[in-house]
Amino acid sequence: MAKKFPIDEFDSATVHGGRHRARRTAKDRIYEWVRIFVAAAVVAGVGYGTLKYVENSSVFDGYLPSSNASPSASTDTRPGVVVLDGGDENLSGAAGQILKDAGYNVTGASVLVDADKKPVKIKTTVITITDELFRADAEAIAAKIGNPEVVISPEFAGPITVVLGSNYKLPQE
């Protein structure tokens, strides 16, 4: 069975051992758990920060929809008009009513807000359009509410957005 071999260089080698063979203590287990917890917290923090960054770069910032959550379908061929108040007197409802009485398709009237839903104040009234196709309607709207400047801007989603500034006064009848 077992044979006797002559002594060689392998018989004088030290026995292999080391840390990987040591018995783990409670302290080692706790240290390992803390390392894993910190790594998970860092990954979760980076993910959360990335999502908040993406949320704050939304193209719909500055628009707070009206209280009517489901606007009725419109058969009007005129483009939708949204009136936002960036002034101090909360005149979006009154200006929206002027446009509605004139036959325009007013789809919302509310306060201009930032991404944190805080009111934004601006100085000058402006009408933004998303395309040159809406310029004729925007110019007619401008004539109804006091001739503010009409600009093309992708800042708002609707085709025509009237942003009332602190300089806006309701037209006298």
pLDDT tens-place string over residues 108-130: 888 888 888 888 898 999 999 99
The CA-based dihedral angle spanning residues 118, 120, 121, 125, taken in that order and rounded to the nearest 10 degrees: -140
Topology of 80-164 in CATH?
Alpha-Beta Plaits (3.30.70)
Give residue 60's pLDDT.
52
Beta pairing class for 126-129 and 160-164: antiparallel
Q: Which tokens sit at 62? A: 């500055």
To the question of pTM greater than 0.95 for the whole model, the response is: no
Point out the residues of the chain with pLDDT beneath 50: 64, 66-71, 73-74
Phi and psi at 16, nearest 5°, equal: -70, 140
The CA-based dihedral angle spanning residues 100, 104, 110, 115, taken in that order and rounded to the nearest 10 degrees: 180
Q: Where are the beta strands (DSSP E) in the chain?
A: 80-85, 105-111, 126-129, 149-152, 160-164
Give residue 49's pLDDT.
92
Give residue 127's pLDDT.
93
Amino acid identity for residue 3 in this structure? K
